[in-house]
Every structure is written in C-alpha cells, then in structure tokens.
Chains A and B, each alone.
Chain A
Amino acid sequence: MAYSEKVLDHYENPRNVGVIDDDLSVGTGMVGAPACGDVMRLQIKVNSDGIIEDAKFKTYGCGSAIASSSLVTEWVKGKSLDEAAGIKNTHIAEELALPPVKIHCSVLAEDAIAAAIDNYRSKHQ
C-alpha cells in the first residue's frame, strides 16, 4: 500500500503522543476495538475559558489511524469544544489524502473527538 507523504510524516513523527493525568479539566475518549484492528485514545485538556489547551493521543492501528489521531491532536488545540466538534472525517481524510479503504480511520478520529468532548462535558453537568 502506498501512503501519502503526510501520513508517513505523522507516522514517523507522531505529534502529541502521551497521556494527560485525569482531572476535571480533562476529557478522555477511547473508540474502536482491538478485534477491528484499531483503538484510539484521545485526551483533551480544557482551560477556564473553555478552550482546548492541550491534547494527547495513543493509537493502536495502521499508519493511517496513527496519522489521523496525530493530526486531530494538532487541530483541536486552541479550539473551543464546539469548534473541535466541527472537525469532520472528510477534513481529516482530505488533509491526509487517505485512500477509500482507509476512510474508516478518519471516521474513528472524528468519533474520538466526540467521545473526548462528551467525557469532558459529563464531568461538568
């Protein structure tokens, strides 16, 4: 399988890999399943102005899944929760030039953002 340069770049040098210690300012989303070949964990840290000031990920999956999650950690930083929720899989797939068989990786990344936001909001009801 041929990978786009951007996928290779994120795969070779993934951005924001890691774990944020959990507290009230943190939202964690974990999506996917090992049996399906990909699991993403995305964490966001939200400041008092409601802006995502940090994001970290870990991903078990193919190069496109790793690249998709790496990319969204870059994109969500500096955004409000509503703005982050506006990131769609089509944006991700387009940016990374994902082939059709890898679109599900971008869908998973979108799901991961939604799951992290949900988790954060559930702590602040």
Chain B
Amino acid sequence: MSNIKLPIYLDYSATTPIDPRVAAKMAECLTIEGNFGNPASRSHSFGWTAEAAVDLARQQVADLVNADHREIVWTSGATESDNLAIKGAAHFYRKKGNHIITLKTEHKAVLDTCRQLEREGFTVTYLDPQENGLLDMEALKAATTDQTILISIMHVNNEIGVIQDIAAIGEFARANRIIFHVDAAQSTGKVEIDLQTLQVDLMSFCAHKTYGPKGVGALYVRRKPRVRLEAQMHGGGHERGMRSGTLATHQIVGMGEAFRIAKEEMATENERIRMMRDRLYNGLKDMEEVYVNGDLEHRIAGNLNISFNFVEGESLIMALRDLAVSSGSACTSASLEPSYVLRALGRNDELAHSSIRFTIGRFTTVEEIDYTVDLVRAAVEKLRGLSPLWDMYKDGVDLNSVEWVAH
C-alpha cells in the first residue's frame, strides 16, 4: 500500500483529469507568445492561426465519431449541446408536431430541457427503461405518434454505464422521419461511434469526461439528410449562426487533442480498464446481498454500480472516505433522495441508497483497485455488524412484513 495516494479517484464519470498532453496543447493558446488570437479575426495572422487551430480540433472531433468537420458545432459542454439540440429542433419543427420522446434515466440536461418545452406547450413522453436500464424498443414504438418530432435517448448512462442500442433506435426514427438526438457525453473514447452508419441526427459531446477541459463541448448536426435548428444563443453569427460567441481556442484545442488521443488509444485503454473493473467486481461479488445496477453486458468498461443491501449509503460513503466515489443517495438533506436513475430501474429505496458508483479511468492502477476491494469489504462488514436489518435478514425475517415505526 506504500505508494498509494489517498483519496483514490474512482469518479471518472463525474469528470476526468486533463491528460498532460492535452494540457500542454492548451497552454500554447493563452499568452502573448502563444496562439491567443480571436479565430474570427479576418484581418491578421493572429486570427488566421487561431482559426487553423480550431479547424484542426474540429477535424479531430469529427474523426473520433466519423463525421464531417462541417457537422461539428462548438458549445460550452454537453448541457448546452443538449439544450441546443432539443430546444433547437423542437422550435424549428414545431409546425410538424409537438411530441417528444425521451427516457426517465436521461441526464438532467435532457430531462429539464424537456420539462421546459412542456411549459412551452410541447408534450413529452418519459419512457420507463427495462430493469437492466435499457430502452424497450416496443415501448418506444408504442409511444410514437404522428405528432412525434424528436426522440432523445442517451448513448451511455452516466450512473450505471449501460449502452443503449442507438443503431436500432436510429433506424426506427429515420424510418418514421423523426429527428433523433443522442447525448453521448459519457461514450466518447469508450464506445465506437460511426456517424456514417448510425442514423443519428444530433449528438452531444463534452470534453471533460474524455480527459479534456471542462467548459467545452460540441453538437453534431447532420448535413445529409439535413437537420435544422433554431439558435438558442444569438450574437455574432458564429458556428454558421447556430451558436454565437467568440470561440475559446484553448478549450477547443484541448477537446480536439483529447479526442485525437481517445481515437488512438481507445482500444488498448478499454481493455486495461475492463480488466481493472472486472478485478474490482470479482473482489466484491462473492459478498452476500450485493447487486449490480444495470446490465453488465451492455455496459462501458469503466463502470461498476453496485448496491450493498442492509448498509445505509451515507455511512458507507463515510467509511469509504479514502475513495472518491459517487453514491446513489443525495445525502445532503434531511430527506434522503435516492437516485432517480436507480428508482427508474425499479430498485427500492434501500438498495438505491446503498449504491456506490465506481468509475475507473486512464490513471487508475491495479494497486488502487486492490486497496479499494479491501476497504469496501471491511466497511460493509463493519456496517453490517452494526445493522439491525442485517441481523433480521440473517434470522430469516422478511423486512417487508415488519411494521416500521416511521418518524
């Protein structure tokens, strides 16, 4: 355990550190010695050099997902991309229909945007996922009407890491002439994306889950067949009018370099990360009453979301202070609010509360995984030793049959 630095970062789905190679490129775009110009400046070389750097980054982002560089619109992150895609398409196509379909396990950037459109008069269907977190194609088909103009389904879920079948959804959407938006914030560098074959019209990206900087993202907007959007940010007419605002050269260059590295190293990286995730899971799965949340097969390599029954979530997080992980319960308020994603899978409150999301990434080591296994096992055993529910379970009491004295 000697050279392990605590706490151990196992929250790569929240954000990643910037890869040093990316940071170096970004640093070249800041000072008077560097490439600091405004990419929109037409009249001097400072502008032209900045524009060249932005163009290269645009190509690098397009390359990772096999798109045309003209289909990439820079934004401030996946939240803005989701807003631009969903509001932009809904507003543009509102004469065609007013119905939108999405999934209950989407990120808040999608769900809250849909809520806003409901306030503007649109109708939104929030589909229940199956128990494994995956979309039920039959439910999607059943929900579709002649008023449906937009389907928004994420590629990889941020909490449970499950991968939706966006090829099948795209095929259905295209056949029914419905715009298909995919939030791919969590999938770049983790899952192959080929927009030449996928029938996806709009796709949201961000840099900071793929070893790039926070505060920059992109929206893919398909050219053939052409998808139109109503701008949400008005101004100087940057990004072909779809998103005004001076381009943040250093951020964009960082995203480009991060995506270039992702394309190059994805295959080997995923193998290494999967090996560590499996090592973590194998170290924990023989404990009693542990449940993996979400499908294990259709899942990115770096995610393990697991519930420890009869252990309360906040005390578990406290016992795991040496780990930087996410918990399925938002324990900042008196009324514990379990994760809406786990609730949508049909997990009961207790299991949702006692869930931990481990997300493994580029800088995770095998030593850190082994340390984590020991720590988690010890913590769960300690807390079960303290838990009256564990005693009752061991005595064969059905906890659902107990009349609790709620307070």
Contact = CB atoms under 8 A, between A and B. Distances in A.
Interface of A: 1, 3, 11, 14, 17, 19, 30-41, 58-63, 65-66, 100-104, 107-108, 111, 115
Contacts of B385: 17
B349 A35 contact: yes
A34 B334 contact: no
A39 B404 contact: yes
B331 A40 contact: no
Nearest to A29: B405
A3 B353 CA distance: 20
A88 B315 CA distance: 24
A104 B391 CA distance: 24
Contacts of B32: none
B101 to A, nearest CB: 31
A37 B336 contact: yes
Contact of B318 (A38, A41, A62, A111): A62
A110 B180 CA distance: 55
A107 B28 CA distance: 58
9 contacts: A30-B388, A32-B407, A35-B349, A40-B388, A41-B388, A58-B386, A60-B310, A60-B311, A61-B315
Given A37-B314, A62-B331, A66-B386, A19 B350 contact: no
Main secondary structure of the interface of A (DSSP, over half): mixed
B312 A61 contact: yes
Given A60-B387, A60-B389, A30 B405 contact: yes
Interface of B: 310-315, 318, 329, 331-334, 336, 348-350, 353, 385-391, 399, 404-407
Contacts of A66: 315, 386
B407 A62 contact: no
A44 to B, nearest CB: 15
Given A3-B318, A11-B318, A101-B332, A34 B389 contact: yes
A109 to B, nearest CB: 11
Contact of B388 (A1, A58, A111): A58
Contacts of A103: 334
Nearest to A59: B386
A62 B314 contact: yes
Contacts of A104: 334, 407
A85 B312 CA distance: 28
Contact of B406 (A14, A19, A32): A32
Nearest to B384: A60
A47 B253 CA distance: 76
A30 B397 CA distance: 15
A34 B318 contact: no
A71 to B, nearest CB: 14
A37 B353 contact: yes
B399 A19 contact: no
Contact of A101 (B329, B334, B388): B334
Top 4 closest pairs, chain A to chain B, by CB:
A33-B404, A62-B314, A41-B388, A58-B388
